[in-house]
Amino acid sequence: MSRKFCVGGNWKMNGNKAEIAEICKGLTAGPLDPNTEVVVGCPAPYLSYARGLLPASVGVAGQNCFKVAKGAYTGEISPAMLKDIGADWVIIGHSERRQIFNESDELIADKTAHALAEGLKVIACIGETLQERESGQTEAVVFRQTKALANVIKDWTNVVVAYEPVWAIGTGKTATPQQAQEVHAALRKWFTENVSADVAASVRIQYGGSVTAANCRELASQPDIDGFLVGGASLKPEFIQIVNARQ
């Protein structure tokens, strides 16, 4: 089963109107590989602005959402609100949400289930810390995080899994293509054994963690790497080269 390459840019808490206009100008000029799905994760206050500046072919994602539609949850954003202003995706469970904001596997699963029910597509992030990797826990950790998602996801069509080893995020220390491929292949095997062979074959698994124009091609050549979730480099012109890594 062929899986469309999917590259997300996660701008995190960066940018202002002028900088976002510049990034959107670059993405509009492209050229972007038509065989790659492109999504940008934009800070919430600028989602509508970015949506208005980007070509329709580029998806726009919130970077977080809450697990219910509305109510007394000061500071939270619902999937319905994201949809209402033109976002079609949301990033859930990023390690910065897990670590800085103490989000649990269960909360992330609840958010994912609700976002999918509301019609958003979800980039669901998983990944181990350096300590977990060094103590041989990588598979146990990513399987546990994926299991929490699998407990609530009935249809994986609108889910992209982003494997982001925490030790590689923003550190300049990218996983080697072999290290990333090894975890992606293990995840696909986990899907075969715990969800279904169809989902294992069709679900897209992105790699994230210090992806750059310089390292993206070799990572993209790995059989189980179906795209990237890019942080720092998504704010720079080189993001176009990362989108085009398979060309």
Number of residues that bind ligand G3H (CB under 6 A): 14
Q: Degrees (nearest 5) of the Cα angle 165, 189, 210?
A: 20
Binding residue for ligand G3H, selected from 164, 224, 226, 238, defined by CB under 6 A: 164
Asked if residue 39 binds ligand G3H (CB under 6 A), the reply is no
Binding residue for ligand G3H, selected from 115, 199, 211, 216, defined by CB under 6 A: 211
Euclidean distance between CA atoms 148 and 229, whole angstroms = 21
Euclidean distance between CA atoms 166 and 163, whole angstroms = 9
Identity of the residue, 59 or 208, whose beta carbon is nearer to ligand G3H in the bound complex: 208
For residue 233, the surrounding DSSP H or E stretch is none
Binding residue for ligand G3H, selected from 32, 230, 240, 245, defined by CB under 6 A: 230
Give DSSP secondary structure letters for 153-171: -S--TTEEEEE--GGGTTS
> CB–CB of 82/121 below 8 Å?
no
Euclidean distance between CA atoms 58 and 37, whole angstroms = 7
Using alpha carbons, select from 80, 55, 77, 53 the residue that is nearest to residue 66: 77
Binding residue for ligand G3H, selected from 181, 206, 210, 244, defined by CB under 6 A: 210
Could you confirm whether 94 is annotated as catalytic?
A: yes
Three-state DSSP at 4 gives coil
CA-only gyration radius of the chain, Å: 17
Instruction: Tell me how far, at minimum, the Cβ of 81 lies from ligand G3H, in Å.
Output: 22
> CB–CB of 91/65 below 8 Å?
no
Task: From 18-26, 48-56, 111-119, 162-170, give the range in contact with ligand G3H by CB under 6 A.
Answer: 162-170
Instruction: Tell me how far, at minimum, the Cβ of 225 lies from ligand G3H, in Å.
Output: 14
Could you confirm whether 134 is annotated as catalytic?
A: no
Residues 165-184 within binding reach of ligand G3H (CB under 6 A):
169-170
Residue nearest to ligand G3H (CB): 231
Pick the catalytic residue from 96, 103, 128, 164.
164
Identity of the residue, 109 or 230, whose beta carbon is nearer to ligand G3H in the bound complex: 230
- Write out the catalytic residue numbers: 94, 164
Contacting positions for ligand G3H (CB under 6 A): 10, 94, 164, 169-170, 208-211, 229-233
